[in-house]
Amino acid sequence: MASGGGLFVPEYFPEVTAEEMEAMRGFDYPERAALILGKFFDEYDRGELSEALRNAYASFEGDDPAPLVRMDNGTYLLELFHGPTCAFKDMALTVLPYLLRKGSDLLGLKEQLLLLAATSGDTGKAALESFRDKKGIKVVVFYPEEGVSKMQKLQMCTQEGENVDVVAVRGNFDECQSGVKRIFRSEKCAAALKERGYLLTSANSINVGRLLPQVCYYFSAYLDLVTADQIRFGEKVDFTVPTGNFGNILAGYYAKRMGLPIGKLLCASNKNNVLTDFFRTGTYDAKRPFYRTMSPSMDILISSNLERLLFELCGRDPALTAERMKSLSATGRFSVRPEELAKLGETFYAGSTSEDDTVECIYEFFEEYGYPMDTHTGVAMNVARRYLEKLEEDPESEKRPMVVISTASPYKFPQDVLYALTGNDVKDSFKGVKRIHLLTAMKVPEALKAVRYKPIRFKTTVSAEKMFDEVLAFLC
């Protein structure tokens, strides 16, 4: 976080030229990502960056870290769950250790790094796995005690590595995230860490090193569509993104600002529909009931990365952005001007879906295609289908190919996915995994198979007020 309390943003959005787009058609994913990231991290050696990306994505199952799956009627699924923790957070977090270490070296920093993360389930495990036993870095992950799936909790609490700590927090994700931000803003905390020889950084998407690698898969998906003769260069494509903290969809917005021909970005929310209401009314109001849902990674009421979008929306006015963030902190709400809301509508569309509709969508999609989706992808698909139906009713509407971002393996949420597919409840996550596999024949990721037999290492639970005390105890 910046010294004034806000978030870092790019000084400008570098352009990806038509010539570069044409060249990237023949690149594999690491090469494409190196070109895109190199435009932001221009101090990094391009060859070394490319090698680091290739090493990072070598840990993914299959030849392509981000394969595009064609359905019909111009709808596609972008699978981002083939990494070591079976969620889209791997797309950036496998790269982040290199970016942080190399960045520290370029700046001549000698201190160790302390990486803090608040997680609604996926970021935590991806950070733990990417940074485990990395020299000069320690990791502390905080998760809401009752706010993650059983499989997500098992993944984190069985984590191996001598440099990691996992802590449950009494409360929801917003309280975890607010606690981490308090630590970042506190001069007292910074002094205590400096005394112990540590500099603070984050694995959440408040860190641009987490955010910017996510821009790459939007470009890659578009290039795959062109290469497969599904679209022509320059033709616009829509993306539907299941969103909680707004980082994933903001990466799509950044890609558009860099010249990628994106039409609409559909912001898909679950029952915690604060973003849907904001895009429809212009008022962001976090003072509302918090719901625990079957898509826990989206159970968020304070979407950190929206601040970055607001900064662009108001013409990069830092004072106005700070005023709105101050209002959100003090009152739980802020509003944008009518002309700003209209501007948002040119790029964004927002929709939300109930628990019942998410279940129905997962079931119907499997019946139609034999393809099992996780609960977050189910939210996104339901919003995308409703949007496409709305376009069908309007003969003058522009219909474009639709890419739905698939953010996690269905095996990460086996009980809820099994219920959606069969109507059957199971209490044990691994029974759910077995039954989904028998039903769908979808391969079970090796990483999830292994979790079953690992011992529970982390059992600590604290209040939000005691989070930094746990950090200091871990460092001693």
Q: Which residues are catalytic?
A: 89
Q: What is the dihedral of CA 332, 188, 142, 103, to 10 degrees?
A: 100
Angstrom distances, CA of residue 323 to CA of 182, 183, 307, 328: 18, 21, 11, 9
Round to whole Å and give the CA distance between 139 and 460: 15
Write a three-state SS string for 142-159. Answer: EEECCCCCHHHHHHHHCC
Distance, CA of 180 to CA of 78 (rounded, Å): 31
Task: Residue 382: name the closest of 373, 371, 370, 391 by CA.
Answer: 373
Residue 318 token pair: 């830092």
Nearest to 457 by CA among 146, 108, 166: 166
User: Which residues partner with 166 through β-bridges?
Assistant: 141
Could you give the CA distance from residue 459 to residue 457 in angstroms, rounded to a whole number? 7
Diameter of the chain measured on Cα atoms: 66
452 within 8 A of 430, measured Cβ to Cβ: yes
Positive or negative, the CA dihedral 124, 128, 129, 131 is positive
Q: Using an 8 Å Cβ cutoff, are 187 and 313 in contact?
A: no
Burial 7-24 (b: 16+ CB within 10 A, else e): bebbeebeebeeebbeeb
From 391, 353, 349, select the one nearest 373 (Cα to Cα).
353
What is the C-alpha separation between 58 and 376, in angstroms, rounded? 26
- DSSP codes of every residue in 59-107: TSSSS-SS-EEE-STTEEEEE---STTSBTTHHHHTTHHHHHHHHHHHH
Query: In this structure, which amino acid lies at residue 335?
Result: S
Tokens describing residue 323? 């005023």
